[in-house]
Amino acid sequence: MRATLVALLFLCVGAAQARAEEVLEDARKENVQSAGKRRVKEETGAKEQHQEPGKERSNEQNGARSQVEPRGADAPNAQTLGRDQSGVYVNAPATNSAYSPSFVMRGFPSGLTLFDGASHGFTAQDVDLSTVDHVEFYKGPSAMLFGKALGGYGGAANYIRKAPTQETFAHAVATKASFDVTRFTADVNTPLNDEKSLLFRFTGSAQTLGSFVNFTRTRSFDIAPMIAFAADNGDRISLRAEHNGARLVWRDGLPADPVFLHVPKEFYAGLPANEHETPFFDDLTLRYEHAFNADWKVAAVVDYFLYASRWGWFTGWGYDGFQSVVFGNPVRARTANRSFDAQLRLNGRFDTGFLAHSVFLGLEHWDFYFGYNNDIARYQAAPLNIFVPIYSPGVSYAGAFWSNGVARAISRSVYGQDLIDLNENWRILIGGRYDLLAQRERVFDPFGALTGEPTSSLSKGTRGYFSPRAGILYRPNEETQFFAAYGKSLIPNTGVRIQSGEAPPPQQDTQFELGLRREFLDRKMSFEVGLFDITRDNVAIPNPANPSGFYSVVTGQQHSHGVEVNLGGEILPNLKINAVATFLHALVSKDDNVPSQQGSDLLGAPRRVYSFSASYAFDTGELKGLEFGASYYYASRLEATLPNTYGFTLAPQQMLGASLAYSFSDNLKIELNAANLTNRPNWTSNGALFHGEPTTIAATLICKY
């Protein structure tokens, strides 16, 4: 029976994966042509509702299971982003900032950040939300946007950035909030010629962030101009640049021990003098599209991304078991990474007899480089007394030890899919991707300050990987869809050091998924349920033979399975609701080197998560322009350590939020938002403990011209 099911699922993965990508292509065109359609989509709910004759109305209906975080007046809200999505958990304190949190999807940390469908390497990345129009959450098969198998099957957040439109407008947004948060964002858009074929848009932000934790603060800015041109023959070309810079004092969190659940929430468990950071990044994206005819088109995308930072850390940060935080040797690091991604993709449609095919074929060259240089102080920093903390005014690196290293991964790939309409009720997808992955890593630690012994090593290797995916969709009527999906993916283990000097094998995910979607109330409401099972192989874990933790072994396996439920839409005129529930169990299913980890729940993977939100807007009468909303979020107990420690769990999270807004006119609006009204501690753990943000109030003034 299982073999039969596997064979059936292997015929298909997100039976609408290709269609989902096709929809996104069309959406990008609409971004250049008009912002009006996009606003209608966002204002009608949390799902994409693109309509095309004879095709499904959204990528979710195709089994892609993507969900959209609708934007507010200016940008998605960092405090609530992702918390109303099934299968998505934010394993970090909610913070009132312009930066997106990182996500745990279906029990696994999201290893990939997408921008308009493209990634900057294979890691998560901080995102300034002032440049973002809305966020799409891809889970399961749809996490492999643009055929990109790199990234893993847990899921990915796709940030759709603001693009030029044919309108002329200027938006300014000012926010003042608890804990000395001050933020200003600007958004200016204008055509550059009378024909409106040459368009320009500029977004920018500046902010200062305080915190309820002592010493923690951030100052940052972001500028992002974009120009787009549409030729008479339909060709489109766009060029986007972005620069982001910041200065901050990093928040370490607290060592994972129960005693720290009782320290004042303001306690800073680090040395501020060593933890000033100066990150910045530059991004440049060029996109070209050409349509041969109504059925065939080609697109080319080239993206160059550069990130660098100077930051401090410690070789032995933790708890001494008595009354102090210990640090080991202070380290000052300089790191940089560079990602180059180029894709060429052909999309087309054709018929063979009674079968209708939607196909694409893509080529990709992806090059990721990471380098670091560490200065390690010769002395250990003095412990920090928990009860009477005295912080050193400085850290000396005179005569410091040093180490450095570089890592590089290059992937040359080909991918393709065929989405076949058998009839009005049945659709299947067959696709795959082949990656020729080359990895190279050099480690140089001549004093053994980090590795425990003098080290000079070089590892490299090249290997090919095939990642199949397939799906099947059954639609008995316009309102109901069933789908099944199967797929594999891979994540390079670049930056993972193997003591033998060998190139580490990549992580590989295998997923099965079944789902149902049903629309009702004249398609204003929708109900979805999905079942998933994911196995992740070749997980890197610390090498128990090397106490420094510098080296790893790649032997682990993790497993996650669960159920996701979504209910949302416009239940009454002007009243919108969204309710989601996630039930999952994510655990270490294999660990040959640290047997105590086997069977442990993964960090950031609560077994139950519930979320409910409702909003109402008055559009007539004396209260016209008034909007209000409320939300409630619950996550069950979390494990605090891995391996799990008996009796040491974090209490369930509960967050109650409220919002109130009033539009004085089409050009002036004020918003008030409150988060964590009950002032719960809402602890999270990623190996360190973090106290959730207390009750916060934010006031925002939005001006439009």
- Per-residue pLDDT reduced to its tens digit, 643-665: 888 889 999 999 999 999 999 99
Distance CA 124, CA 151 (A): 10
Residue 150: band (very low, low, confident or very high) from pLDDT cuts 50, 70, 90: very low
Q: By the 8 A CB rule, do 472 and 527 touch? A: no
The region of weakest confidence among 270-284, 332-346, 381-395, 533-547 is 533-547
pLDDT at 404: 92
* pLDDT at residue 2 tops 70: no
pLDDT at 545: 64
Residue 102: band (very low, low, confident or very high) from pLDDT cuts 50, 70, 90: confident
**Total number of residues shown for the chain:** 705
* pLDDT at residue 65 tops 80: no
Residue 1: band (very low, low, confident or very high) from pLDDT cuts 50, 70, 90: very low
Q: What is the residue range of 214's domain?
A: 65-704
Distance CA 120, CA 105 (A): 19
Distance CA 682, CA 196 (A): 50
Distance CA 334, CA 371 (A): 8
Q: What is the per-residue pLDDT across 348-364, written as a single tens digit (0 to 9) for each?
A: 999 998 999 999 899 99
> What sign does the dihedral 348-351-356-357 (CA atoms) show?
negative
Q: Using alpha carbons, select from 218, 215, 250, 276 the residue that is nearest to residue 96.
A: 218
Chain Cα centroid distance, residue 190:
30
Q: Using alpha carbons, select from 333, 359, 368 the residue that is nearest to residue 112.
A: 368
* Three-state DSSP string of 607-643: CEEEEEEEEEECCCCCCCCEEEEEEEEEECCEECCCC
pLDDT at 546: 64
Q: By the 8 A CB rule, do 173 and 73 touch? A: yes
Residue with the larger pLDDT of the pair 300 and 70? 300
Does residue 260 fall inside a structural domain?
yes
Tokens of 43: 């204002």
Q: Using alpha carbons, select from 536, 541, 499, 532 the residue that is nearest to residue 643.
A: 541
Distance CA 512, CA 46 (A): 25
Other Cβ atoms within 10 Å of 705 Cβ, number: 9
User: 280 - beta bridge partners?
Assistant: 245, 308
pLDDT at 544: 65
Residue with the larger pLDDT of the pair 400 and 461? 400
Q: Give the number of domains in the chain.
A: 1
Helix axes 17-33, 36-43, angle to 10 degrees: 130
Looking at residue 527, which CATH number applies to its domain?
2.40.170.20
Does residue 38 fall inside a structural domain?
no
H or E element that contains 3: helix 2-10
Residue with the larger pLDDT of the pair 119 and 388? 388
Does residue 461 fall inside a structural domain?
yes
Residue 245: band (very low, low, confident or very high) from pLDDT cuts 50, 70, 90: very high
pLDDT at 67: 52
pLDDT at 427: 92
* pLDDT at residue 501 tops 80: no
Other Cβ atoms within 10 Å of 517 Cβ, number: 25
* Range ranked top by mean pLDDT from 68-82, 330-344, 449-463: 330-344
pLDDT at 57: 30
pLDDT at 487: 85
* pLDDT at residue 509 tops 90: no
Mean pLDDT, rounded, for 311-320 = 92
Residue 29: band (very low, low, confident or very high) from pLDDT cuts 50, 70, 90: very low
* pLDDT at residue 614 tops 70: yes
User: 356 - beta bridge partners?
Assistant: 351, 421
pTM: 0.84
* pLDDT at residue 95 tops 60: yes
Distance CA 231, CA 101 (A): 38
Q: Using alpha carbons, select from 514, 511, 517, 529 the residue that is nearest to residue 565.
A: 529
Mean pLDDT, rounded, for 491-500 = 70
Does residue 13 fall inside a structural domain?
no
> What sign does the dihedral 384-389-390-395 (CA atoms) show?
positive
Does residue 522 fall inside a structural domain?
yes
* pLDDT at residue 24 tops 70: no
Does residue 619 fall inside a structural domain?
yes
Tell me whether the omega of the peptide bond preceding residue 643 falls within 30 degrees of 0, making it cis: yes
Does residue 56 fall inside a structural domain?
no
pLDDT at 93: 78
Mean pLDDT, rounded, for 282-302 = 94
Q: Using alpha carbons, select from 701, 580, 686 the residue that is nearest to residue 101.
A: 686
DSSP tally for the chain: helices H, then strands E? 3, 39
Distance CA 396, CA 506 (A): 39
Does residue 470 fall inside a structural domain?
yes
